[in-house]
């Protein structure tokens, strides 16, 4: 009988992916710059609270409209992002480790964009760096939670078990529901995509999004 996977075992595998290192580097740089500049104000406390409350809804929107994008051909041009293609492959092979993470190629675009937003879209550069630090923490939390759900680590707490079950319902029950990853159906409950699993039919396309077979 094989030894159960521990969190330490999972962490060793997690840190082999480039994505956590890329997000982690953004976190270290942003946090170091933020603490160096100082000038703390009440808004530096409000930004993390707002972001934490909004994050489940951001997850839901990205999952529904970006990751589950159905390829469309307009004027002979197929519109289909790397993220959407990678996510279809992830549904097809949910245990393939490289497909669990945000593609590193996507982060080469996302990280500079987030940095530009932090430096240009806020009234104070310090507040922008607070935002960048928080989004880095949330990003790492998302990657770790998503990775852990798809690993062989077994839930040991009620909170994690509910998060684990919520996402696995999305993959193995019906891909049209349960779009949040780091929380147990928070945004899903508000937006009507968290039904009783017993009332939902098992989808024939849960592993084959949009009915177009993925080839790994």
pLDDT tens-digit readout, 87-103: 999 999 999 999 999 99
Q: What is the DSSP string of 132-167?
A: HHHHHHHHHHHHHHHHHHHSSPPP-SHHHHHHHHHH
Angle at 159 between CA 145 and CA 61, to 5 degrees: 50
Provide the 8-state DSSP code for 63: I
| Greatest Cα pair distance in the chain | 58
Pairwise pLDDT comparison (211 vs 45), residue with the higher score: 45
Q: Is 178 helix (H, G, I), strand (E, B) or coil?
A: coil
Rg for the chain (alpha carbons), in Å? 19
The model's pLDDT over 18-61, given as tens digits with 9 standing for 90+, comes to 999 999 999 999 999 999 999 999 999 999 999 999 999 999 99
**pLDDT tens digits for 139-167?**
999 999 999 999 999 999 999 999 999 99
Structure tokens at 127: 């507040």
Residue 215: what pLDDT?
44
Of all residues in the chain, the percent with pLDDT exceeding 70 is: 96
- The answer to which of 29-33, 129-133, 200-204, 209-213 has the lowest mean pLDDT is 209-213
pTM score, whole prediction:
0.93
What's the rounded Cα separation, in Å, for the pair 1 and 140? 32
Q: Tokens 């934490």 sit at which residue? A: 52
Q: Positive or negative CA dihedral for 17, 94, 214, 187? A: negative
């Amino acid at each position: 009988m094989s030894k159960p996977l521990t969190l330490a075992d999972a962490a060793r595998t997690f840190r082999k992916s480039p994505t956590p290192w890329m997000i982690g580097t953004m976190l270290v740089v942003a946090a170091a710059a933020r603490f160096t500049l100082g000038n703390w104000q009440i808004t530096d406390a409000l930004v993390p609270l707002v972001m934490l409350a909004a994050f489940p809804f951001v997850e839901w929107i990205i999952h529904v409209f970006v990751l589950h994008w159905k390829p469309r051909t307009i004027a002979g041009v197929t519109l289909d992002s790397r993220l959407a293609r990678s996510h279809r492959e992830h549904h097809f092979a949910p245990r393939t480790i490289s497909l669990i993470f945000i593609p590193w190629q996507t982060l080469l675009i996302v990280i500079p964009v987030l940095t530009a937003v932090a430096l240009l879209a806020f009234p104070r550069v310090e507040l922008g760096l607070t935002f960048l630090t928080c989004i880095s923490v949330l990003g790492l939390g998302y990657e770790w939670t998503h990775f852990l759900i798809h690993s062989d680590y077994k839930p040991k707490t009620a909170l994690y078990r509910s998060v684990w079950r919520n996402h696995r319902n999305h993959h193995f029950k019906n891909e049209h529901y349960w779009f949040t990853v780091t929380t147990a159906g928070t945004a899903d409950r508000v937006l009507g995509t968290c039904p009783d699993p017993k009332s939902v039919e098992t989808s024939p396309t849960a592993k084959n999004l949009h009915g177009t077979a993925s080839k790994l």
